[in-house]
Amino acid sequence: MEPCGTLSLPAPLTIRAAAIAARGSKAALPPTYRQQAVAAVEARRPRWASAGAAATCTMVGLAMHGGIRFQGRRRLSPLCRAGRRGAKAAAASKYYEVVPREGCAFGASVRGFSVKDVLDDAAAMEQIRSDMYKYRLLIFHGQTDLMPDDHIKLSEHLGSLEHILHRPHPKSPDPRLLRVANDDREGFMSVGTSGWHVDGVMLQAPFAAQTMHHLHAIPGGDTMFLGMNEFLESMDEDLRALCERLWFVSGVGEDLQQGEGQMSLLPLVYKHPFSGEKTMCFHLGQTYCLGFVEEQPLNALLDAFANVMTRGDKLMNDARSSLKRVLAGPDDNCPSQFRFLPALPVQDCLQKAIDGMDPETRSQSILRVEWDRGDLALIDNMGLAHLPAPGTQSLPLISGLRVFHRTTMVNPEAVVRNLRGAPSVLLGGTRREGPVSDEAVNDPDAMRDILRALMAAAPINEDELGGDQRGGDLQIPKDVPAREEALRALEEAQQPLDMLKEVDAELQAATSQGNETLTKTLKRLMMEYHPDRNQNREKEIIPIFKYLRRLRKEQGRPASVMAQTKGRVVDRLRKKAAKIAVGVGEEVAG
């Protein structure tokens, strides 16, 4: 369900006119207009609301549309919040009964129904698809009899499986099923653990829908979901306005600077193609975002001044020309000025906004789902972001085996446009390994220009976003978790994970015996897995050694006397150089 105050009405109403309309007065508005307004509110009213609550929600919803200005964070009105906390009645359809999630703006469950039995029923499939977009997260429990072929057939009713981002695992029964597990012999590990995200940010549009069928579940192997509309509405006015001007830039390829691969420009905020609600598209994983581009609408005088100031900057002018060409939109209303923002400060700001939600907003916006064997989740990927809980990476010898199959579907009808109507852009070039999407526009020059401008992006003012002042560095950041970095390196080198699992098991046992035992274990393992002692096994040994070295460093090993002395000397030299520089500057000025 969605907030009562999120409305789509023909035109603004005054609060008085809205109140009169809610009481049923025909004199307040022309009949046609009044009927449209009330119908729009009624369409948003929860099914479980009583007749009195319906009138209240209608009046409050129209009044909210009539010009009440929210200060700071946007909140639902107390009347609407009280109504939503009321008992939720199950919504019965011809095929099954849907039970909405208590206390959250989205999510619903279905029990006692077999999806497999209605795969050939077109009306039932349409009902399932409609309910998925209505609740954004629809979970069918107990689907233990659903076979891989059935899973594929269901997915094809929700969209097209034809895209380039499939990752077949040797154990996967179909290449279109992504097999995820906490054991690399059973499926891919650490999928999606790098941050809140929607799937498919490297395509023309994010995936319209995805499914998850849990074959084996473990305690703590939960998934958290974030309502994008609720998150956007919880922001303060300044941050929301900035987000509405931003484009999220992602890419996949061997060398994007040379035009190899493909690059996507997706609006950070857009209207959901099916629900019409404002939603967002981002990936807070630091290796999935190349940066952000901000549109800067300026008046004629400031626009001319900006052109003069950047007249000699070829890099900026080339990137600006490319963006004006690819982001023109149907009305050719693209602004002529852009700002290029590095990824990390904006991602940090979004993460802080999520972490800073008050408890009531957080309960409405974030849902943590505990999975059981046989659970089948249908997810509106454009309406929700998701993040696996830390317990999903627990080793099988500790928590048991966790396995699920995932499908991701594109939908040609799901066109993503920013709020001024410009569609998302997918730029493509050559690809040495793997295909480039058919819908990609072959424009390697634009890819190169935009990427170079992002790499040269200046740090963002800390007061503007509340994040750190960091440059536009596209390298893998240093704060990637040590184990994830080791897993990634071993996976890229196509090496088995058996050694890493043995190391994890020893560290797990040492941790339970205290810090001193852990320190001794780390020292011993670093000697055992040192590259000098393991000649001709560098691909497998070096990632594990780096993993152990980072753990040892993060443990807080005290610096040696020589290192401490060196640090003091360097500090003194820096202070002395600063004084000399100040003195020389004053002398020159005099």
Residue 535 banded pLDDT, cuts 50, 70, 90:
confident
Q: Which residues contact 131 (CB under 8 A, 6 or more apart)?
A: 93, 98, 108, 138
Question: In 167-276, which residue ranges form alpha helices assigned H by DSSP?
Answer: 228-234, 237-243
Percent of the chain with pLDDT over 70: 68
Residue 297 banded pLDDT, cuts 50, 70, 90:
confident
**Rounded mean pLDDT, 95-110:** 95
Higher pLDDT, residue 484 or 162: 162
Higher pLDDT, residue 34 or 418: 418
What span, in angstroms and rounded, lies between the C-alpha atoms of 41 and 4?
Answer: 8
Structure tokens at 519: 């320190």
Angle between helices 31-44 and 15-23 (to 10 degrees): 80
Higher pLDDT, residue 501 or 34: 501
Predicted confidence (pLDDT) at residue 55 exceeds the cutoff of 60: no
What span, in angstroms and rounded, lies between the C-alpha atoms of 264 and 427?
Answer: 6
Mean pLDDT lowest among 10-14, 404-408, 572-576: 10-14
Nearest residue to 368 via CA among 469, 167, 222:
222
Q: Which amino acid is at 362?
A: R
Residue 305 banded pLDDT, cuts 50, 70, 90:
low
State the burial class of residue 240 (Cβ atoms within 10 Å of its Cβ: 0-12, 13-18, 19+).
Answer: middle
pLDDT tens-digit series, residues 518-534: 888 888 888 888 887 88
Contact 73, 361 (CB under 8 A): yes
State residue 24's pLDDT score: 43
Strands 260-267 and 246-255: antiparallel
State residue 302's pLDDT score: 62
- Structure letter (DSSP) for residue 89: P
Of the chain, the end-to-end C-alpha distance in Å amounts to: 70
Predicted confidence (pLDDT) at residue 265 exceeds the cutoff of 70: yes
Percent of the chain with pLDDT over 90: 39
What span, in angstroms and rounded, lies between the C-alpha atoms of 226 and 354?
Answer: 9
CA angle 153, 436, 494 (to 5 degrees): 80
Residue 312 banded pLDDT, cuts 50, 70, 90:
low
Mean pLDDT lowest among 167-171, 196-200, 212-216, 431-435: 431-435
**Rounded mean pLDDT, 33-59:** 41
What span, in angstroms and rounded, lies between the C-alpha atoms of 236 and 97?
Answer: 38
State residue 173's pLDDT score: 95
Contact 197, 389 (CB under 8 A): no
State residue 540's pLDDT score: 84
Looking at every residue in the chain, the average pLDDT score rounds to 76
Contact 179, 188 (CB under 8 A): yes
SS3 content of the chain, % helix, strand, coil (to 5): 40, 15, 40
Residue 126 banded pLDDT, cuts 50, 70, 90:
very high
Higher pLDDT, residue 10 or 245: 245
Mean pLDDT lowest among 213-217, 222-226, 343-347, 492-496: 492-496
State residue 485's pLDDT score: 75
Residue 469 banded pLDDT, cuts 50, 70, 90:
very low
Mean pLDDT lowest among 137-141, 221-225, 268-272, 315-319: 315-319
Predicted confidence (pLDDT) at residue 34 exceeds the cutoff of 50: no
